[in-house]
Amino acid sequence: MKINYKKILFAVVVAILLIFLVYNKLIKSSQPGAAQTGAGKKQAAIVSVAVVNPTSIEEKIFTTGSIMANEEVDLASEVSGKVIKISFNEGSKVKKGDLLVKINDSELQALLLKTTYSKKLAEEKEFRQRKMLEKEAISKEEYDVALSELNKLDAEIQQIKAQIEKTEIRAPFDGVIGLRTVSEGSYINPSTTVATLQNINPLKIDFSVPEKYFNQVKTGNQISFTIQGLKKTFIGKVYAIEPKIDPNTRTLKMRAISKNDNLELFPGSFALVELVLRKIENAVVIPTDALTSDIKGQKVYVINKGKAFERQVVTGIRQDRSIQIVNGINAGDTIVTKGILNVKQGGPVKITEQK
C-alpha cells in the first residue's frame, strides 16, 4: 500500500496552525491590565483611580544653612595687667553686667585715694574763698582760681575711675560663657582672648537661595530646619535679607531667627532648611503618578461613565509625590492613578482601587 505523504504533511501543518491560534488567544486573554467586557466589545483597562479633593499646598525652597549665636563676643581686656580674680565657671550662664575677670588696679586705687584727699582740701578752700568774695575781701579772680582747682580734681577723679573700670571685664549681655584661656596670675593685654560669650536663645540661621527667587522671598517667611543628631524639626522666621545678590554664587543671603528654649541647638551646626514661599488653599492637587506627557503637553485621564478621557492640564507647584493642577480638571473629578499605559482615549476601564 502506497503512503500519501502530501496528505500527512497537510494535516500536520493544519494541526500546528490550530494549536498556535488557540495558544495565542489564551495568552491575550490572560494578559494583566485587560479584561473582556463581552463578545465583540473592547477590552477594559484595569486601573486605580482617585477623586480630586481640594487641599492646601506650599511652594518651598530646599537649601542648606549654618546656625549662629544671637550675639557673640570674644572677651578681652582694654588694658594690660595681671589677672587677680576670675569670677566665672566655664560653660556657665552669666547675666549682663556680671564681673568676669579683675585685673590688678592697686596703683590706680592709690592714685584715686590721693586725688580724693586733694579734692577735699580744694572744697574747703573754695568754700572759704566764696565767703570772702561775698564780703568783698578778695577779688573775683582769686575765687575763680580756687574753683578751677576744685573742678580740675573732679575731672581727675572721673578719669581714674574710668581707668579702674577698664581693669574689669564684665558680661556685655546675658549668655553662656565658653572655655577660658587664662588663669589667675596670668599677664594679659588687649589682644588676649580670655573666653567667648554667646547668647544662644534665640538663635540665628544663615542661608542662601538662588537669585531667581529674589522677588518672591520676604521678611516674615517661615522656615523649618533640621540638624544632624536630632530627629526633630525646628521652626524659624526670616527677619533680614541681604540687599544684594552675591556676584560669586548668584545667591541671595537671608537670616532667620528661631527659639532655643531647651538649648538643643548650638552655633556652628549645619542645617537643612525648607523655606515656604507661599501657601495656596483649596488647590487642585493630584499624585505625580497620574500625570503623563505627549507631544501636546501634559495630560491626565478622567473617568466618566466607566470610560477614560484625556484632559490636557497646566501644572503649578510640584512636590515630591504631588503636583498642583492650575487648569484642566476640577475638584470632584475622578482620575486614573495607576495602569495609565493600558488606557486608551475613550476606552472602557475596570476600577480595582479607589482613593
| Tens-place pLDDT, residues 258-283 | 999 988 999 999 999 999 888 888 88
* Cell numbers given for 343: 488606557
Same domain, 184 and 249: no
| H or E element, residue 327 | strand 322-327
pLDDT band at 4 (very low <50, low <70, confident <90, very high): low
pLDDT at 184 over 90: yes
Same domain, 183 and 205: no
The secondary structure of residue 23, as a DSSP letter, is: H
- At 243 the pLDDT is 92
Does the pTM surpass 0.75? The reply is: no
Same domain, 176 and 243: no
Domain assignment of residue 90, given as a range: 75-188
pLDDT at 76 over 50: yes
Same domain, 131 and 93: yes
Same domain, 132 and 99: yes
Domain for residue 10, yes or no?
no
CATH number for the domain including 88? 2.40.50.100
Same domain, 263 and 239: yes
- At 23 the pLDDT is 65
Contact 347, 336 (CB under 8 A): no
Task: Return the C-alpha torsion angle 163, 164, 170, 173, nearest 10.
Answer: -50
- At 25 the pLDDT is 63
- At 6 the pLDDT is 64
Domain end among 155, 188, 221: 188
Domain for residue 1, yes or no?
no
Residue linked to cell 580724693? 116
Position with higher pLDDT, 236 vs 297: 236
- Distance CA(61)–CA(214), nearest Å, equals 12
Q: Which amino acid type is present at position 336?
A: V
- At 35 the pLDDT is 45
Contact 204, 255 (CB under 8 A): yes
- Distance CA(76)–CA(208), nearest Å, equals 33
Same domain, 108 and 41: no
Same domain, 82 and 162: yes
Same domain, 175 and 92: yes
The secondary structure of residue 342, as a DSSP letter, is: G
- Distance CA(287)–CA(336), nearest Å, equals 10
Domain end among 137, 170, 188: 188
Q: Is 264 helix (H, G, I), strand (E, B) or coil?
A: coil
pLDDT in tens, 85-97: 999 999 999 999 9
CATH number for the domain including 218? 2.40.30.170
> Quick count: other Cβ atoms within 10 Å of Cβ 68?
18
Q: Angle, to 10 degrees, between the axis of helix 140-165 and the axis of helix 106-134?
A: 160
- Distance CA(308)–CA(154), nearest Å, equals 97
**Buried/exposed code over 139-169 (b: 16+ C-beta within 10 A; e: otherwise):** eeeebeebeebbeebeebeeebeebbeebbb
Domain for residue 301, yes or no?
yes
Domain end among 223, 248, 279: 279
Same domain, 324 and 235: no
| Percent of all residues in the chain with a pLDDT value above 70, rounded to a whole number | 90
What average pLDDT is seen over the chain? 88
pLDDT band at 78 (very low <50, low <70, confident <90, very high): very high
- Distance CA(331)–CA(53), nearest Å, equals 5
Number of domain units in the chain: 3
Mean pLDDT of 208-215: 92
Same domain, 305 and 223: no
pLDDT in tens, 101-131: 999 999 999 999 999 999 999 999 989 988 8
183 CB contacts (<8 Å, ≥6 apart)? 83, 86
Coarse DSSP helix, strand, coil percentages of the chain, rounded to the nearest 5 percent: 25, 45, 30
Domain for residue 23, yes or no?
no
Position with higher pLDDT, 266 vs 294: 266
- At 265 the pLDDT is 92
Backbone angles phi, psi at 46, to 5 degrees: -85, 120
Domain for residue 86, yes or no?
yes
What are the angstrom distances between the C-alpha of 69 and each of 46, 259, 271, 272?
Answer: 58, 11, 14, 17
Q: Which amino acid type is present at position 324?
A: Q
39 CB contacts (<8 Å, ≥6 apart)? none
Domain for residue 320, yes or no?
yes
Contact 75, 97 (CB under 8 A): no
